[in-house]
Amino acid sequence: MTRKRRMFEIEMPDETETFPAGKAEKDGRRGPMATAISETAEGARVRARIEADIRAENDALAREHVRLKQAGLITDLIPLDAIDTHKLIRDRAPGADMELTELVASIRELGLSNAIQVEPAGEGRYELIQGWRRLSAYRALLEETGDAEAWGRIPAGIAVRGVELDRLYRRMVDENLVRKDISFAEMAQLALHYAMDPMTDENDPEKAVAFLFKSAGYQKRSYIRSFIRVVEALGETLDHAQDIPRALGLALAQRLEEVPGLAGAIKADLKDWDNRSVQDELGVLRRFAGQGDEAAGPKARVPTAPTGKARTLFQIQRAHGNAKCVAANGRLEIRLARDFSAVDRRKLEAAVQALLDRLD
């Protein structure tokens, strides 16, 4: 006997309708798995957008930091004892600096209005490139008060390391030119120091004037070159070189060229004259320059024998770099990028003795 099979009618879904395996939609709603997948994908997209925005913002901040650093606009409080002042040769006349005294009083009362400029020198140290007087004022205040909390650190713009030395000298010179009272003697001394710096290429201070004082007019550069002759011949003897008027300096420079031995006579006149005033010193210079009433007096007499060249300049190649040498009347100066204070005193003394013996 054969058993009849039951037949069931099954309604198949319309072929146009498709559903994920194991999923069914009711009343147009998606299943929980589909919803979770969709939400996860959307969250990943949102996170990717946020991360991309953060990266773009960080890149922009990094570029801005580099730009500000290169411009020397990144400022920090730097300990005074971490700042060196060796990179640029600076002229600081002996005696009281009235400008510095006024600056100390101003900073004490009002604070520092303009940060100094330094560049990293490695091992936590910095090299000063702008702001010698401001740094000196802070050091004076620290010494005066002993308050390291207030004056032990100074606001400093941290410049990118490796700015060309020539540009740093130009900046220093232009910064000084802004001062209305900077004297021709001080400008001449800047040119002399630039020429004597073993790290610069120029040896002749008169040629250095053209580069350093490019912002000044031709006539002013000519005056500076005349004062170079005065400062070279008498700089170490004079206590008030910065107070020499232009007309006196020009007349004195001409007399130094015309009258052999004049520099020695002036030095002899000023020798052992301590605590002389500005007017005392200028009076002596006027007599020797032919501007004073006593110009023909006994103190104005000078030797007539020729004394040779006023200055001899040359360089010597050494392992430490070029040694710049200046030979003048009563002076032999050597500039080399080396710390001679680190040389044993007896060895240094023997070397100098041998040099002098060879010159006799």
177 and 291 together in one domain: yes
* pLDDT value at residue 177: 56
249 and 177 together in one domain: yes
CA dist 227 and 289 (Å) reads: 13
189 and 99 together in one domain: no
144 and 178 together in one domain: no
CA dist 195 and 208 (Å) reads: 6
Q: Which residues pair with 355 in a beta bridge?
A: none
* Residue 17, domain member (yes or no): no
Q: For the stretch 228-242, what's the b/e string if a residue is b when 16 or more beta carbons lie within 10 angstroms of its beta carbon? A: bbbbbbbbebbbbbb
Q: What is the pLDDT along the chain (360 residues), one digit of tens a residue?
A: 556 566 556 555 555 555 455 455 555 566 677 666 777 777 788 888 888 888 888 888 778 767 776 666 677 899 999 998 877 655 444 445 666 788 898 899 888 888 888 888 888 898 888 888 889 999 999 999 999 999 999 998 887 665 566 666 666 666 665 555 678 888 888 888 888 877 777 888 888 888 888 777 888 889 999 999 999 889 888 988 888 999 999 999 999 989 888 999 999 889 888 888 889 999 999 999 988 654 434 444 444 444 444 567 777 877 767 777 777 767 788 877 777 877 888 888 888 888 888 887
Burial-class residue 32 by CB neighbours within 10 Å (0-12, 13-18, 19+): exposed
Which of 116, 131, 163 terminates a domain? The answer is: 163
CA dist 153 and 81 (Å) reads: 9
304 and 254 together in one domain: yes
97 and 113 together in one domain: yes
CA dist 162 and 119 (Å) reads: 8
Could you tell me the residue range of the domain that residue 57 belongs to? 50-163
* Residue 11, domain member (yes or no): no
* Residue 95, domain member (yes or no): yes
279 and 353 together in one domain: no
Phi, psi angle pair for 116, to nearest 5°:
-75, 175
**Count of alpha carbons within 13 angstroms of residue 91, beta-carbon side:** 25
* Residue 8, domain member (yes or no): no
- Structural domains of the chain, count: 3
* Closest residue by Cα to residue 128 from 147, 141, 115: 115
Q: For the stretch 139-149, what's the b/e string if a residue is b when 16 or more beta carbons lie within 10 angstroms of its beta carbon? A: bbbbeeeeeee
Whether the CB-CB separation of 25 and 19 falls below 8 Å is answered with: yes
* pLDDT value at residue 334: 82
CATH number at residue 59: 3.90.1530.10
